[in-house]
Structure 1
């Protein structure tokens, strides 16, 4: 499979797992694992553009991640700020549109301000949509969507889908999880109804464009029947 050939895939989501284990294996602090994880994000976003994906959704910070030590949460926020400041120019020039799913208003004001600015700057871009899940949990998303749908009329799968955080994005085709864990961890549960799932033992900081191509190649060999024969 060459560049620009995503074999029918429009929307890929990734649970970026394994930063801590990557650092532990090397006797390094967890913060170093997160830093290397950001480098993997850069590789994959660039790869998504090269492969012509319409949308890439990354699980960056869950509603459960607040339970982590305060120092680690602070490190993650710092990394997020540096990532926006250092990479926004490149992504904006490449036509990437930034979206956030989840409630990032819970972050500190300076982080919220940076995110708001990045969203506004890329809003008119028409290339790959990069959706970053921040303070996101799928059960919370479904509850919010159902509440909004109920306020407008009868609740159906269609009316709930229309209120999801990803409502204006293509349907999810492929969910990738790194580090050998085999679960969804409250990520895009509704959207995964008929998505293909791909699990790899590769730790997120080691994930490369070749690994993404491998996942897409696996996807291309699967038959998607959506409940039919």
Structure 2
């Protein structure tokens, strides 16, 4: 029932979402720019609903049990999964925990659905890596976690190293050096997961900018 409702919602347009406060404080955008912002927010809201629906389906728990653990009503839980309500972050966090998953994977999806821009560039490599990984894992959830090996096999120009990086980004707690992932491969992966390339590119660039630089090797023979 939830899956049918999510599918039906994806075929209709919602009421225009309210503009984020950050946009209202800026100069009025053009009609094309305003529509692009609206479309991006709609896509993010739909992706968030699909991710929550997938978490519910993969949990093997009834809606009532998840709602009880999350501290919300079953009807509200249903509306979150069908995208009829935009949830607070606390509702998303507790719902995700009730389904036995990591709420960090939903942070960027929720921010985008709420009309929030990607956060300011991180100055710490480990934070930049966590943000990049979280954003991609959220998109992966929204697509019902397709097999990473199949995903990378369909990405143009993806090397064996790219495949290993994508595999660990989407599945493992520890990640191989993700800054080695090229932008063309990252962009293709984002497109395959129906995500925003503009948004992911900010995380990717920050990761590259904060990555540790390899230290030059000096052999003992250089000192005689």
TM over 0.5: no
Q: Which structure has more RCO (C-alpha within 8 Å, separation ≥ 6)?
A: 1
- Structure 2 length-normalised TM: 0.30
- Structure 1 length-normalised TM: 0.29
Which structure is higher in strand share? 1
